[in-house]
Structure 1
Amino acid sequence: MLPDEKVIYNLGSIDRIPAGEGRTFLVENTAIAIFHARDGKLYATQASCPHKGGPLSDGLVGSGKVICPLHAYTFDLSTGTALNNACSGLMTYAVTRSDNGEILLNLE
């Protein structure tokens, strides 16, 4: 692969993730949480909370945020920024939806 070449991963139909929920996918040995917001937007972050490793895809999703199911730490899904807690932020990834409704993830 060339240095500027993007690798896009097709994770399947958006129908796999109900609106307002998240799912974890394993991509190149990296666990990625994909969130399908109720407004139709897609977000991608690391799958585990940096605080205690909580499964973020099982958290509450709304208003562009996710709340970790273990200790209620909140993160901005666009930036990964921790909100109202001292936890480190999340890794975020570029994710889009194709014209035919497929989830397209860029790990760069």
Structure 2
Amino acid sequence: MDTNWPTENWHSIGDISDIPLRGARCVRTPQGKIAVFRTAENEIFAIEDHCPHKGGPLSQGIVHGTAVTCPLHNWVISLETGKALGADDGAVRTIPVRNDGGALFIALESLMIAAE
């Protein structure tokens, strides 16, 4: 692990190869379900796994660029900011995530996490 990163809040969630290009996987945490996305450019983002519109599972949406389209009502959510794009209004919480040579980590206040 890169020793330049603080370690007290970073928790391992697997490897980048666990997530397909333009896909997602979920991590359950005490703070709720987190969707971890991998873009076509191998960027990694983590956000709450519920659309601000009607709670749709964003992890099951279509990833395009640095956004995901909710599978329920086609709201587009920025993976960078968590904000709804276009005319829609709302946001989800973004979660700090890092890629350390393919090993993925998210910053959480609790150690209790489990990958799905």
TM-score range relative to shorter protein: 0.7 to 0.9
SS in 2 for 1:70: coil
Moved more, 20-29 or 66-75: 20-29
- Is the CA contact (8 Å cut-off) linking 1:66 and 1:75 kept in structure 2? yes
CA distance in 1, matches of 2:72, 2:84: 15
1:97 maps to: 99
Equivalent residue in structure 1 for 2:79, among 69, 77, 80: 77
User: Which amino acid in structure 1 is aligned with residue 97 of structure 2?
Assistant: V
CA RMSD of aligned residues (A): 1.6
TM score, norm. by length of structure 2: 0.82
Shift of 1:15: 1.3
User: Which amino acid in structure 1 is aligned with residue 69 of structure 2?
Assistant: I
Q: Which has the higher contact order (CA 8 A, sep 6+)?
A: 2
User: Which amino acid in structure 1 is aligned with residue 88 of structure 2?
Assistant: A
Structure 1 gaps of 5+ residues are none
User: Which amino acid in structure 2 is aligned with residue 103 of structure 1?
Assistant: L
Counting aligned pairs with the same residue, the percent is 34
TM score, norm. by length of structure 1: 0.87
CA distance in 2, matches of 1:14, 1:48: 22
Shift of 1:105: 0.3
Shift of 1:81: 1.4
Q: Which runs of 4+ in 1 moved over 2 A?
A: none
Moved more, 43-52 or 26-35: 26-35
Shift of 1:59: 0.3
